[in-house]
């Protein structure tokens, strides 16, 4: 029988961070994810920004957890071997009239405990962010903002959680939940029934539907679409900081984002949509974003855009919903985790563990918790001297599969050994296919390696699971 103390529904960054936090304790924990791989829902389209905490109203969960998360993520990143870079952010204004708004933001930020924020003038900007357009008159500088790879954070959190005993079930969609009074939750899934004393709903876009399964229907998740556009890695140093405009009611605005893979990114748009699977991009979104960011940094050229995608933010009102449902003892909702959810994730995890403890879960620390994880190597992030050492250890580090992003066969095989099952899974973990040629040259090789490593025939290799097969037929089968 699949009996657990805690079951987490949802394998995005929230669910994975909670899973890892729970794996410190003597508990039987499982994580259920409906997609074929983790991070394939909301998290895969995350910008990868670790926010300092500015731009969140004081008193909100978002503000509190964002500031805490910003501090916690550094330790988490170090322990897991995920690259975190503190690059700092600038909230820029185009007119003198808006400078008081920066001072207001600064005051709010200080109130919630963001450190080091200051309003900087033209001279400071000229020196520290020379590509910024002359139209920018001042900015709020928040030095503690940083960048991280959102998918690698999810994969590494969950890998570490699994190493500490958490069972991870992908391709396992929750169909229904029954609460047996005072005993157990019975979770019906596409892969049979699971039983747990506590259930954590971290189902992202579908958190409202999962919550409804136990009769709690007082919130709705409204998808808010964001289109993002990636620039060529050649433009890595187009800015030194994350560049924000003044925030609006619905979003933090269209940004110039540094990413931990090197490619700058521009976006996102913010558009409320009805369909939870609508990840389509539009020509309008592209024009809007390019026009907007060019006002901040004129050197951005739309010809440098090599890729784009859309993601959906799971919006449930203005703030996060993180609470134990007293009407359904043992059920914890962690919903509406949109921005700054990635930053807040480690703090959310702590808060959830605390909630579980207060509601009857016995929290006894394991005598040994494997907090460290061996860093995954990426050639693109290494100087040649380090690459040479790796090649000496394993010759297949010298066997390049993806030429645009310099990804070796060894990295692809490692990614598969660590859980990649699809072309997108390999891409998110290694960056192979994510460069300027968009997989034109490496797709066939990666398909072969996936097939070799997993035993799945080439015709069944998918882009992202389900019916997303890359090819229809093997001609050699006749």
By the rule CB under 8 A, 303 interacts with other proteins: yes
Smallest separation, CB 397 to other proteins (Å): 8
Candidates 203, 223, 222; CA nearest to 213 is: 203
**210-218, 251-259, 314-322, 403-411 -> range binding other proteins (CB under 8 A):** 403-411
Return the number of the residue (230 or 256) whose C-beta is nearest other proteins.
230
By the rule CB under 8 A, 466 interacts with other proteins: yes
**33-41, 118-126, 128-136, 459-467 -> range binding other proteins (CB under 8 A):** 459-467
Do the beta carbons of residue 212 and residue 266 sit within 8 Å?
Answer: no
- What are 40's two structure tokens? 């394939």
Return the number of the residue (4 or 286) whose C-beta is nearest other proteins.
286
By the rule CB under 8 A, 282 interacts with other proteins: yes
Return the residues of window 312-341 that contact other proteins according to CB under 8 A: none
By the rule CB under 8 A, 403 interacts with other proteins: yes
Residue 267 DSSP label? E
By the rule CB under 8 A, 274 interacts with other proteins: no
Would strands 89-93 and 242-244 be described as parallel, antiparallel, or unpaired?
Answer: parallel
Whether the bond between 268 and the residue before it is cis, its omega within 30 degrees of 0, is yes
By the rule CB under 8 A, 173 interacts with other proteins: no
Return the number of the residue (318 or 452) whose C-beta is nearest other proteins.
452
By the rule CB under 8 A, 464 interacts with other proteins: yes
Return the number of the residue (191 or 403) whose C-beta is nearest other proteins.
403
Smallest separation, CB 5 to other proteins (Å): 35
Smallest separation, CB 23 to other proteins (Å): 33
Rounded CA-CA distance 463/469 in Å is: 6
Smallest separation, CB 210 to other proteins (Å): 21
Smallest separation, CB 457 to other proteins (Å): 10
By the rule CB under 8 A, 309 interacts with other proteins: yes
**97-105, 236-244, 255-263, 401-409 -> range binding other proteins (CB under 8 A):** 401-409
Alpha-carbon separation of residue 388 from 145, 241, 393 (angstroms):
33, 31, 9
By the rule CB under 8 A, 288 interacts with other proteins: no
By the rule CB under 8 A, 452 interacts with other proteins: no
Is 51 annotated in the active site?
yes
Phi, psi torsion values for 226, nearest 5 degrees: -130, 125
Return the number of the residue (26 or 466) whose C-beta is nearest other proteins.
466
Smallest separation, CB 474 to other proteins (Å): 6
Candidates 194, 147, 155, 189; CA nearest to 11 is: 155
Candidates 141, 140, 172, 170; CA nearest to 158 is: 170
Rounded CA-CA distance 289/229 in Å is: 8
Termini Cα distance of the chain: 45
Return the number of the residue (107 or 466) whose C-beta is nearest other proteins.
466
Of 234, 327, 366, 370, which lies in the binding site for other proteins, with binding defined by CB under 8 A? 234
Smallest separation, CB 232 to other proteins (Å): 9
Q: What are the residues whose beta carbons fall under 8 Å from the beta carbon of 17, sequence distance 6 or more?
A: 76, 157, 345, 346, 348, 349
Rounded CA-CA distance 56/35 in Å is: 31
What is the dihedral sign for C-alpha 127, 133, 135, 141? negative
Smallest separation, CB 169 to other proteins (Å): 21
By the rule CB under 8 A, 308 interacts with other proteins: yes
Rounded CA-CA distance 342/345 in Å is: 5
By the rule CB under 8 A, 440 interacts with other proteins: yes
Return the number of the residue (104 or 474) whose C-beta is nearest other proteins.
474
Smallest separation, CB 244 to other proteins (Å): 24
Do the beta carbons of residue 154 and residue 12 sit within 8 Å?
Answer: yes
**12-20, 54-62, 120-128, 468-476 -> range binding other proteins (CB under 8 A):** 468-476
Of 127, 365, 374, 384, which lies in the binding site for other proteins, with binding defined by CB under 8 A? 384
Rounded CA-CA distance 475/48 in Å is: 41
By the rule CB under 8 A, 408 interacts with other proteins: yes
DSSP string, 108-137: HHHHTT--S-EEEEHHHHHHH-TTS-TT--
By the rule CB under 8 A, 436 interacts with other proteins: yes
By the rule CB under 8 A, 443 interacts with other proteins: yes
By the rule CB under 8 A, 396 interacts with other proteins: yes
Phi-psi region of 402 (alpha: psi -120 to 50; beta: other; left: phi over 0): beta
Rounded CA-CA distance 172/34 in Å is: 5
E-strand spans in 316-363? 321-324, 331-335
- What are 182's two structure tokens? 């005072």
Q: Which residues bind other proteins (CB under 8 A)?
A: 234, 277, 279-283, 286, 301, 303, 305-309, 384, 387-388, 391, 395-396, 398-400, 403, 406, 408, 423, 436-441, 443-444, 447, 458-459, 462-476
- Which active-site residues does the annotation give? 51
């Amino acid at each position: 029988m699949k009996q657990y103390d805690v079951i987490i529904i949802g394998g995005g960054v929230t669910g994975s961070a909670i899973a890892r936090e729970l794996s410190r304790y003597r508990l039987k924990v499982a994580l259920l994810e409906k997609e074929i791989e983790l991070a394939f829902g909301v998290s895969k389209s995350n910008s990868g920004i670790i926010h300092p905490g500015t731009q969140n109203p004081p008193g909100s969960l978002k503000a509190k957890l964002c500031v805490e998360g910003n501090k916690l993520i550094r330790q988490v990143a170090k322990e897991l071997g995920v690259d975190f870079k503190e690059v700092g952010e600038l909230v820029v204004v185009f007119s003198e009239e808006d400078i008081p708004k920066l001072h207001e933001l600064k005051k709010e930020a200080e109130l919630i405990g963001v450190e080091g924020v200051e309003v900087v003038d033209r001279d400071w900007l000229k020196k520290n962010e020379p590509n910024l357009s002359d139209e920018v008159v001042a900015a709020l500088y928040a030095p503690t903002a940083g960048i991280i790879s959102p998918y690698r954070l999810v994969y590494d959190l969950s890998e570490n959680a699994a190493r500490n005993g958490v069972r991870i079930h992908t391709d396992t969609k929750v169909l229904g939940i029954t609460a047996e009074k005072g005993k157990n939750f019975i979770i019906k899934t596409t892969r049979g029934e699971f039983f747990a004393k506590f259930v954590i709903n971290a189902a992202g876009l579908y958190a409202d539907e999962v919550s409804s399964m136990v009769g709690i229907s007082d919130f709705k998740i409204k998808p808010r679409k964001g289109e993002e556009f990636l620039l060529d890695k050649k433009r890595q140093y187009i800015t030194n900081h994350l560049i924000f405009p003044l925030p609006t009611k619905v979003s933090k605005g269209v940004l110039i984002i540094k990413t931990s893979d090197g490619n700058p990114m521009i976006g996102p748009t913010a558009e409320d949509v009805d369909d939870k699977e609508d990840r389509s991009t539009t020509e309008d979104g592209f024009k809007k974003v390019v026009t907007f960011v060019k006002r901040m940094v004129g050197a951005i050229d739309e010809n440098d855009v090599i890729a784009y995608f859309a993601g959906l933010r799971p919006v449930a009102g203005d703030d996060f919903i993180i609470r134990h449902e007293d009407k359904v003892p043992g059920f914890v909702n962690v919903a509406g985790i949109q921005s700054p959810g990635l930053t807040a994730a480690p703090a959310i995890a702590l808060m959830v563990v605390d909630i579980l403890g207060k509601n009857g879960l016995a929290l006894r620390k394991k005598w040994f918790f494997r907090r460290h994880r061996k860093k995954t190597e990426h050639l693109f992030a290494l100087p040649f001297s380090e690459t040479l050492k790796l090649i000496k250890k394993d010759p297949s580090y010298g066997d390049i599969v993806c030429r645009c992003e310099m990804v070796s066969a060894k990295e692809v095989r490692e990614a598969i050994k660590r859980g990649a099952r699809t072309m997108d899974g390999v891409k998110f973990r290694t960056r192979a296919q994510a460069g300027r040629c968009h997989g034109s040259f490496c797709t066939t090789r990666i398909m072969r390696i996936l097939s070799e490593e997993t035993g799945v025939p080439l015709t069944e290799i998918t882009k992202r699971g389900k019916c997303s097969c890359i090819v229809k037929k093997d001609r050699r089968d006749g």
